[in-house]
Amino acid sequence: MQATWPPHLDHHGGNRRWFLGKLSALVAAGAAGCGGRGVTSGDDEVVVYTALDREFSEPLLRIYEKQKHVQVLAAYDVESTKSFGLERRIEVEARAPGCDLFWNNEILNTLRLKRKGLLSPFHPPGAEAFPAEYRDPDATWYGFAARARVLLVNTNLVPEVERPAYLHDLLQSRWKDRLAMAKPLFGTTGTQAASLFATLGELEAKAFYQGLKQNGVLVLSGNRQAAAAAGSGRVAVALTDTDDALAEMDAGSPVTIIYPDRAPGALGTLFIPNTLSRVKNSPHPAQAEALAGFLLGPKVEAALAQGASGQIPLNPNVETQPRIETPRTVPAMAVNFDRAAELWEPVVAPFLANLFGTD
């Protein structure tokens, strides 16, 4: 099996070449973070469902195949449904699981699966290096490679002195019909909504999303589309993720990133980790654990940090400087993610589906 870069990644230019070099280094270095734990005889495949964009996750899975001589069978999500589609698939397959490892690009739906009893405790090699807040006390999930929820502002349309600094600034009349976001029922946009309900309380969170609706927010199929709308000037401001914001910056669009609510005493910027979890009764549990150890390794996080997605390493052994700001420089929103997951089905999802529609 040859670790090649998928041909549709050419638009990343220099970042593509940089990340390809990192991946080559990973091959030479051996299984990063796998702790020398090899493949059990006869266990020559592992099934992973991944919500992280295929262009970022697939090359790493191909590297693992080459290093460990294990076939990685991967199912990838699409931008419009993101982790919700794979999470639902895991639920449907509960009686006969087809997935070993769930690589989620956020945390909300991982916690929802845990609440439904669909995850099993596991102990990937190297996971103990991560801070406690990014490891489930019950060992059902591990967080790594975080992104931030940010405002992407078109600098041609919005002078510096007029740029929003807080999420609630988006409710001002000057932003009417000048905003974009992904539908807040999926992926990181859904995670942000649930986090705001858990942090602000139901009444204030509902008022915020009702205010966005009344202000004519343009609801698009994904965060990438929202970022592109700001980059093209279709809107002045997009609520999006740092990886999609970086894609617009790398493409030369006239945009800048604003980390909202970073002032002292403010709400703080929401940082959302990728998560890894093992599906209960998965067919290849040992292989799921070994693959998770590879993905949690410092070389993988370093490559994701300096690649086009610019994700934030959470492993303290990573020395690479991220391309974006981190909780070291931007105050992070204090979120009870368990509470956010608890509120999702009875409160958050019905409200948002009624407000923005389900299609």
Tell me: pLDDT of 92 over 50.
yes
The answer to whether 7-146+274-306 and 147-270+335-356 have equal CATH topology is: yes
Q: What does the pLDDT read at residue 80?
A: 53
Residue 79 pLDDT class (50, 70, 90 cuts): low
Q: What is the per-residue pLDDT across 293-329, written as a single tens digit (0 to 9) for each?
A: 999 999 999 999 998 899 999 999 998 888 999 998 9
Mean pLDDT, the chain, whole residue set: 88
Burial class (CB in 10 A: 0-12, 13-18, 19+), 353: middle
Q: Using CA atoms, how far apart are residues 80 and 189, in angstroms rounded to an integer?
A: 11
Q: What does the pLDDT read at residue 81?
A: 54
The whole-number average pLDDT for the span 120-137 is: 95
Instruction: Give me the residue spans of the domains in the chain.
Output: 7-146+274-306, 147-270+335-356
Q: Are 155 and 67 in contact (CB under 8 A)?
A: no
Tell me: pLDDT of 84 over 80.
no
Q: Using CA atoms, how far apart are residues 97 and 80, in angstroms rounded to an integer?
A: 24
Q: What is the per-residue pLDDT across 98-123, written as a single tens digit (0 to 9) for each?
A: 999 999 999 999 999 999 999 999 99
Q: What is the per-residue pLDDT across 19-77, written as a single tens digit (0 to 9) for each?
A: 445 444 543 443 333 333 333 334 689 999 999 989 999 999 999 999 999 999 999 98
Q: What is the per-residue pLDDT across 220-274, written as a single tens digit (0 to 9) for each?
A: 999 999 999 999 999 999 999 999 999 999 999 999 999 999 999 999 999 999 9
Q: What does the pLDDT read at residue 43?
A: 61
Residue 10 pLDDT class (50, 70, 90 cuts): very low
Q: What does the pLDDT read at residue 243?
A: 95
**Torsion sign, CA atoms 45, 30, 322, 196:** positive
Q: What does the pLDDT read at residue 359?
A: 64
The long-range contacts involving 129-133, CB below 8 angstroms and separated by at least 24 positions, are: 129/315, 129/316, 129/317, 130/296, 130/314, 130/315, 130/316, 131/314, 131/316
The whole-number average pLDDT for the span 195-206 is: 98
Q: What does the pLDDT read at residue 20?
A: 45
Instruction: Name the fold adopted by 7-146+274-306.
Output: D-Maltodextrin-Binding Protein; domain 2 (3.40.190)
Q: What does the pLDDT read at residue 258?
A: 98
Tell me: pLDDT of 348 over 60.
yes
Q: Are 280 and 124 in contact (CB under 8 A)?
A: no
Q: Are 323 and 310 in contact (CB under 8 A)?
A: yes
Q: What does the pLDDT read at residue 358?
A: 73
Q: What is the per-residue pLDDT across 146-195, written as a single tens digit (0 to 9) for each?
A: 999 999 999 999 999 999 999 999 999 999 999 999 999 988 999 999 99
Domain 147-270+335-356: give its CATH code: 3.40.190.10
